[in-house]
Amino acid sequence: MDLEFGSEYDDFTKDVQDFCKEYSNAIITNANDKKFEMHDALSGNSNEKTGKVVNRSDWQRLLIEKGYFARSIPKEYGGYGGEPDIIKSRIIATEFSKNKVPNAMGGQGIDMLVPTLLEWGSEEQKQKYIKSTLHGETIWCQGYSEPNAGSDLANLQTKGELVDGNWVINGQKIWTSTAQFSQMMFCLIRTEPDASKHAGISFILIPMDTPGIEIRPLVDMTLKAGFNEVFFDDVTVPEENLVAKRGEGWSVANSVLGHERGSLANPNATMNRLNTLINLMKEETIDGRRLIDVPSYRDRLLQVQGKVMAVQAHSLRLLSSKINPNQNVKLGGMIQKLVGTELRHELEGLAIDIMGELGTLYEDDPNVRDGGSWQFTYMYFLGLIIGGGTNQIQKNIISERGLGMPREPKVTVEV
């Protein structure tokens, strides 16, 4: 066991710490973008907005310039152009979190599309899309799920036909978050109707202002998160918007899905929320008594803290396995989405419980605590328990691929 990163990282750590001191509790503004309203609670960012004010796209550029974001993405595509270094990435994440510095913008374009294009995209596609995505100028939404293709995603039916050098797309997507703010969608489309289920899918990029696209808001239980249904009626995009080859869409999508699952439950964010909860319990009272002095509340807090400390320690072990490729943590990686989302849901729910009636306040109620973020995040994480591969699907993956248990026998229905 050796938890030191080595003295060669001392200078780097010092630089990051200096930067973090300057931008502690910074306020990142984006007047036009409601989506980020609750972003801070989700990502565990501080709610003490006392630091510098920076515009979001300036913030993105500054972080790239310093190498704190898009670190290993080549310069020619708008990244920092550094060598991949897991330890440096970890130092950045840890210091940002510790010093309450807002993270770079995330979202599906940055987290999913950029790695996809780097792996599968043509040179033209990389040039055209990556830089503006990193700068926060092009917002993307993901067109994967359909009403009849949820857990069974490969059953998707939205079809695309190549007509005179253009893809003509018809069908419907659902659970499309941020569709209403997005300039582009990356989409899975059935282009090879005669091929087998998984081999008939292609990965296609669609500008959201293309005629024939209709976006209908799909209000979820938080009333805020902003999912949509997206309908395609003869939507026509150029042939070159295909990423990789026809019929390779399933492989393209799968190559970055694992990344999304891991990122759904960042242990640093969970630790920050735990600390916010501890502060809340020291400030709020019942019958004049601090909530943290109520033994049953305190015991629940300590139970959650034990779980948070376990996943934090676990993230160190996962980091170690990336640095030391011989270390086997196969099962350790598979459990992240399941464990992380359930834990956040429990943590946020505990905050509601200890506040009792006050915990039910929401939105703009004058008595609401922390802007209603506890209720919002509690509900949002129920969404994440279901989304990104439901936690029941996660349990199938863990038992089949992790524990080597047999698959459920296929049921063939005679029609």
Residues that bind other proteins (CB under 8 A): 1-6, 87, 278, 290, 292-293, 295, 298-299, 301-303, 305-307, 309-311, 313-314, 316-317, 319-320, 323-324, 327, 331-332, 335, 338-339, 392, 394-396, 398-400, 402-409
Q: What is the DSSP string of 362-384?
A: -TT-TT-SGGGHHHHHHHHHHHH
By beta-carbon proximity to other proteins, the closer residue of 16 and 235 is 16
Q: Are 370 and 376 in contact (CB under 8 A)?
A: no
Beta carbons of 165 and 239 less than 8 angstroms apart: yes
Least distance in Å: CB of 329 to other proteins? 8
Which uninterrupted H or E stretch holds 332?
Answer: helix 330-334
- Rounded to the nearest 10 degrees, what angle do helices 86-98 and 267-283 cross at? 10
Minimum CB distance to other proteins, residue 310 (Å): 4
CB of 262 to other proteins, least distance (A): 14
- In angstroms, give the least distance from the CB of 96 to other proteins: 19
Pick the catalytic residue: 260, 346, 357, 414?
A: 260
Closest CA to 333 of 321, 325, 323: 321
CB 35, min distance to other proteins, A: 31
Closer by beta carbon to other proteins, 171 or else 389: 389
Sign of CA dihedral 54, 60, 61, 64: positive
Using the minimum distance from each CB to other proteins, give the nearer residue, 3 or 31. Answer: 3
Q: Is 410 helix (H, G, I), strand (E, B) or coil?
A: coil
Count of CB atoms situated within 10 Å of the CB of 281? 21
Q: Is 31 exposed, middle or buried (0-12, 13-18, 19+ CB in 10 A)?
A: exposed
Comparing CA positions, the residue from 91, 103, 98 lying closest to residue 136 is 103
Examine the residue annotation and report whether 124 is marked as an active-site residue of this protein: no
Return the SS3 of 259. Answer: helix
Identify which of residues 235 and 351 has a Cβ nearer to other proteins in the complex: 351
By beta-carbon proximity to other proteins, the closer residue of 43 and 320 is 320
| Residues taking part in catalysis | 260
